[in-house]
Chain A
Amino acid sequence: DIQMTQSPSSLSASVGDRVTIICRASQNIGSYLNWYQQKPGKAPKLLIYVASSLQSGVPSRFSGSGSGTDFTLTISSLQPEDFATYYCQQSYSTLPYTFGQGTKLEIQ
């Protein structure tokens, strides 16, 4: 299986901060990388697909970048509704499609 490792596992930040979450793949996955946001008790929500494409309806303060093995999710100016857990997922051809362990973003 392709292993996805996110860092940090948890992060404290304040409203208005710029935040970056890193996701590393255990092998080259090109741009086959998606990002999801999950709030407590809710289903995950797609934010970014194909490494850098913003899902319709997602605020432009979210952005994704990277290719190969190293990827980032950036929130340019944190809003109160952004405090959640974030997951990366690889959808490269080798099954299964694995997720990172999650990054919990908390209010400082």
Chain B
Amino acid sequence: QLQLQESGPRLVKPSETLSLTCTVSGGSISSSSHYWGWIRQPPGKGLEWIGYIHYRGSTYYNPSLKSRVTISVDTSKNQVSLKLSSVTAADTAVYYCVRHAFSNGYEWVDYWSQGTLVTVSS
């Protein structure tokens, strides 16, 4: 069974960079038919798609976050990482590591991590 587990600081200061790593177990991140990405959810609010990456390196980001986001992959460690720079309190959220599945041009999120709350505060 595929499992995704995030790690990284849970408290980040304003203006600094949020960094999270997701370790994938029970399957390979080097899959042609999957993208690996991040979705976040501010406390008590809805879901926001951040972006994703293919193991070959193609990346796609939410235009509203594109100037601050970097998603990368380390196939040797079966990990995907998120960096979000210049954070503010508005970036406080539960961050989910996710897998996107693709078929016949359609895509959906079929696996989610348990989620980790990252708080931006001094």
User: Which bucket holds chain A's interface residue count?
Assistant: 20 to 34
Give chain B residues whose Cβ lies under 8 Å from the Cβ of A31.
106
Q: Compute the total of residue contacts between A and B using a CB distance below 8 Å.
A: 55
In the complex, are the beta carbons of A50 and B110 less than 8 A apart? Answer: no
Interface-side segment among B12-20, B56-64, B80-88: B56-64
Q: A residues 83-104 with Cβ under 8 Å of B? A: 87, 89, 91, 95-102
**A96 to B: closest C-beta gap in Å:** 4
Please, how many angstroms separate the alpha-carbon atoms of A32 and B109 in the complex? 12
In the complex, are the beta carbons of B48 and A99 less than 8 A apart? Answer: yes
Q: Mark B60-82, 1 if CB is under 8 A from A, else 0.
A: 11111000000000000000000
In the complex, are the beta carbons of A95 and B63 less than 8 A apart? Answer: yes
In the complex, are the beta carbons of A101 and B108 less than 8 A apart? Answer: no
Q: Using a CB–CB distance below 8 Å, which chain A residues touch chain B?
A: 1, 31-32, 34, 36, 42-46, 49-50, 55, 87, 89, 91, 95-102
